[in-house]
Amino acid sequence: MDAARRLGELFAQSGICMIYGDGGIGLMAAAAEGVLDAGGEVLGVIPQFMVDAGWNNPRSTHTIVTNTMHERKATICQKAEAMVALPGGIGTFEELLECLTWKQLGLHTCPVIILNTDGYYDRLLSCLDYMIEEQMMRPIHRDMFIVVNTPEDVIPAILAAPEWDSSTRRLAAI
């Protein structure tokens, strides 16, 4: 929670509007609270069924309500200039892997940063490396994301990320 809040504070201090799924609990909510408490802006994107269930963050500066989870993810991807994955559950993994799939296919080219707090993503990263070893993923696709260990490393990683060439989609097939 501390790392998530700190990331939010850093976003606010850098003038970055955080775009996220508008959840009112968990690490992403802690990041959003860090942004808001530091005077920054948050754009929440959430499907109507989650609003109806009361899962949204009422403090978000701006909110877009979508019809479906798919629309939510597409909207976030369209509006974001970078993607940052904090530790999370199966939904976070699904969103991260879909984001990497879209990048592999050239559907977006923005930086993808994995905040590997306390080694949380070590096993997933090992799995991705194993996919390369087994020739289920090309070595160049390891360059689709940058792994950092602290919130302070996220913004410099975004700024230093090489531009992703969307023509690499021709390499998506094995």
Whether the pLDDT of residue 171 is over 90: the answer is no
Tokens for 102, please give them: 């879209």
Whether the pLDDT of residue 145 is over 90: the answer is yes
Distance CA 34, CA 16 (A): 12
Whether the pLDDT of residue 166 is over 80: the answer is no
Domains of the chain: 1-80 (3.40.50.450), 82-153 (3.40.50.450)
pLDDT score of 173: 58
The pairing of strands 62-66 and 42-47 is parallel
For residue range 95-139, what is the model confidence (pLDDT) as tens digits? 999 999 999 988 889 999 999 999 999 999 999 999 999 999 999
The mean of the pLDDT values for the chain is 94
- Residue at token pair 């990320």: 161
The residue-averaged pLDDT of 40-69 equals: 97
- Residue 84's SS3 state is strand
